[in-house]
Structures are given as C-alpha cells and as structure tokens.
C-alpha cells in the first residue's frame, strides 16, 4: 500500500472538509483527529470516515458550520448540545468543560454525530491529571448474546489514567462487539477475510467474509455474555441520558449517545504519587515471565504509541481504493 505522510493526509482531509462547507478551524480539528487515529493504527476510525462524513453533510445529518454549546445543569454535571455539528467538536467541547471543572464531573452530549476514536478524549483528560472514562451507543450492528439479529451498537468504552510525566497515559479503548465495524470495512477494502467468530451472515451462520456483514449480517459481542451485558448497560445509560434513545427502538434519533466522566486524582491522592505508583506497576507488568510464544508484556496504549512512532517516521499506509475515493471528493 502507498505510504502517506501525516501532514499530507491532514492537508487532504482539510481540503475535503472545506470543500463540503466546513470552516477552516473546524476542518483542521476534525481532520486532525482522524489523522491522529490513523497514526496510532486504528485505521477503522481514521480518514476512512471522511466519505461517510461528506455524505452525511449532503443528507443534512451533519451541519458543517454548527458549533456545540454547553450548559452546567448542576455542580459537576454538564450537557453539551452538539447541534448536529461534527462529533469531534462536540466531544472536544465536553472534554474542555470537564477539564475546566477539575472536579468529579459527568458530561452528556446531545445531538452528537460520530466522534471518531473514543480513546482520544479520555487520553486528553488523563493529561490534565484526571481519570477519564467515556462510552456511547450507536446504530445497531451487533446481535445480543444468543440472538441472530441486530439489536445493539458496537457501543465503545474507553478509560485512561496518567503515567509518569513525559509518558503517554494508559488508554483502554475498545468496542463491546468482538471487533469494531470499521475494521470490517478495512478488511473489505483490502480484500481480506476476517477471523472466525466475529461475524454472522444474514441467516445467522458464522462467516469470515466481511461482505456478509454489509449484506445484512451482524457482529457478535466480545466475551459472549460479558460483553453483551456491558453493551446493554452502555445502551441504556448513554442512549437514555443523552436523549439519543435505544438504537433498536423506533424512537432512536440516530445519534452517537456520548457520555464522558472524569474525577481528579488529587481529590484522593497526591498526583505525583499516583503517577509514580502507576509507572512502577507498568514496569512490574513488563517484567512478568513470558508465556510460550510471547516476546513481551505491554500495557494498554503502548502498541498504539509504537505504531505512532513508526508511522510518523515512515508514513501512514492507505489503500489505492481509499486514497482514490478521498481525492475524488475534491475534484
């Protein structure tokens, strides 16, 4: 695959969004978020999303000129009104509100579009000495445990805590489905099968063909009933608190029901002590005797940081198909 520098991909993303009517500052924010996601290796949530965003602008689903607003409804509680703006702008506003509170805080986002990589937002909270948690519900693509029809979204959950100064935070970020839908799109674009146990086709049969998902199939929850249970709770809390609704119910608004939570470490323990103890624990994990077939033990976030370093040096891999589709949006 061609390798594209982050700067070149950012410039292309900005150009695409501006051509679709997005003001320059917002275009840079959204494209920057997508490219950073490519840099850490989560191509499913990177610039692959731009054609979909442009289509949603044309449908009126995204208002490219909208700016989110926020209101504090009671101490520690914030409602961000997305106003159909890009989800990156809405989630970013929620993060800024929580950072400004620097207390135990919860922010819900209403009228929110796709926010990209959820881990980006909790990582920013952790950089401000906060423990950050985020989750959200989205359109149906996942069968409940024991079922063979879509009833749940991929419903991601992210969590971050800071390490010692100068090191990126520990970031846990994953879908409650066994794989994110966007990773199927990447496999389909590259003409590759997916692993067994991820997808059922429209008739409920297990499949390794990503095309079967897009032909009416479904994803499965991770860890069977455990991932399913977690997804149910995210569906209820994120869907109902934000007003987005339950994705499989008739009144679902089609939003990405986003909830972010934070609490300051220094409320309970000195920040530097927390960071130091966290780093000691990371070292202890890294020193664990290795199981057969393994070469090292990493903590969440470290694989992404290694990918970032490599892609900043060598470039971001992107298929000719996706690159051609992106360039067609500005012709």
DSSP 94-141: HHHHHHHH-SSEEEEEES----S-THHHHHHHHHTTEEEEEEEE-S--
Handedness of CA 132, 35, 195, 204 (dihedral sign): positive
Provide the pairing of β-strand 77-81 with 105-110: parallel
pLDDT of residue 181: 87
Q: Which residues pair with 105 in a beta bridge?
A: 262
Contact 89, 247 (CB under 8 A): no
Say how many C-beta atoms besides its own lie within 10 A of residue 251's C-beta.
8
| Six token digits for residue 167 | 């090191």
Q: What is the dihedral of CA 26, 327, 216, 205, to 10 degrees?
A: -110
Say how many C-beta atoms besides its own lie within 10 A of residue 271's C-beta.
14
| Six token digits for residue 270 | 């000195």
Provide the pairing of β-strand 69-74 with 77-81: antiparallel
Please compute the mean of the pLDDT values over residues 137-142 and round it to a whole number.
Answer: 97
d(CA 100, CA 132): 14
pLDDT of residue 167: 95
Q: Phi-psi bin for 84: left (phi > 0), alpha (psi -120 to 50), beta?
A: left
Domain segments of the chain as ranges = 1-65+315-331, 68-178+220-287
pLDDT digits (tens, 9 = 90+) for 58-111: 999 999 999 999 999 999 999 999 999 999 999 999 999 999 998 999 999 999
The predicted model scores a pTM of 0.95
Please compute the mean of the pLDDT values over residues 323-328 and round it to a whole number.
Answer: 95
pLDDT bucket at 197, cuts 50 / 70 / 90: very high
CATH code, residues 1-65+315-331: 1.10.1530.10
Q: Is the model's pLDDT at 331 over the cut of 80? A: no
Greatest alpha-carbon span in the chain: 55
Under CATH, what is the fold of the domain 68-178+220-287? Ribosomal Protein S8; Chain: A, domain 1 (3.30.1370)
Instruction: Return mean pLDDT, the chain.
Output: 96
Please compute the mean of the pLDDT values over residues 245-252 and round it to a whole number.
Answer: 96
Angle at 287 (CA atoms; ends 283, 291), nearest 5 degrees: 140
- What residues contact residue 110 under an 8 Å CB cut-off, 6+ apart? 79, 80, 81, 82, 242, 243, 244, 255
- Would you say how long the chain is, in residues? 331
| Six token digits for residue 331 | 């012709």
d(CA 201, CA 209): 9
68-178+220-287 and 1-65+315-331 share a CATH fold? no
Q: Is the model's pLDDT at 306 over the cut of 90? A: yes
| Six token digits for residue 221 | 């929850």
């Amino acid at each position: 695959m061609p390798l594209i520098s982050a700067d070149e991909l950012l410039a292309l993303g900005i150009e695409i969004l501006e051509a679709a009517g997005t003001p320059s500052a917002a275009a840079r924010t959204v494209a920057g978020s997508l490219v950073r996601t490519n840099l850490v290796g989560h191509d499913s949530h990177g610039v692959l999303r731009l054609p979909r965003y442009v289509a949603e602008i044309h449908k009126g689903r995204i208002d490219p000129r909208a700016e989110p607003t926020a209101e504090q409804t009671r101490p520690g509680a914030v409602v961000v009104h997305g106003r159909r703006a890009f989800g990156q702008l809405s989630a970013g506003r929620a993060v800024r509100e929580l950072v400004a509170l620097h207390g135990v805080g919860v922010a819900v986002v209403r009228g929110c579009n796709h926010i990209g990589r959820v881990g980006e937002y909790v990582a920013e909270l952790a950089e401000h000495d906060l423990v950050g948690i985020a989750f959200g519900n989205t359109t149906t693509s996942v069968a409940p445990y024991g079922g063979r029809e879509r009833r749940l979204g991929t419903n991601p959950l992210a969590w971050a805590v800071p390490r010692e100064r100068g090191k990126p935070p520990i970031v846990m970020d994953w879908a409650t489905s066994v794989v994110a839908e966007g990773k199927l799109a990447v496999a389909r674009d590259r003409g590759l099968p997916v692993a067994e146990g991820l997808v059922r086709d429209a008739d409920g049969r297990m499949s390794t063909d990503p095309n079967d998902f897009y032909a009416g199939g479904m994803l499965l929850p991770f860890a069977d009933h455990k991932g399913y249970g977690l997804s149910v709770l995210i569906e209820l809390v994120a869907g109902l608190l934000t007003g987005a609704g339950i994705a499989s119910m008739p009144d679902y608004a089609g939003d990405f029901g986003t909830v972010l939570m934070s609490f300051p470490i220094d409320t309970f323990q000195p920040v530097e002590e927390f960071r130091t103890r966290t780093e000691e624990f990371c070292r202890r994990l890294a020193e664990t005797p290795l199981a057969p077939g393994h070469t090292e033990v990493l903590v969440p976030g470290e694989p992404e940081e290694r990918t970032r370093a490599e892609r900043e040096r060598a470039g971001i891999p992107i298929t000719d198909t996706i690159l051609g589709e992106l360039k067609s949006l500005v012709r």
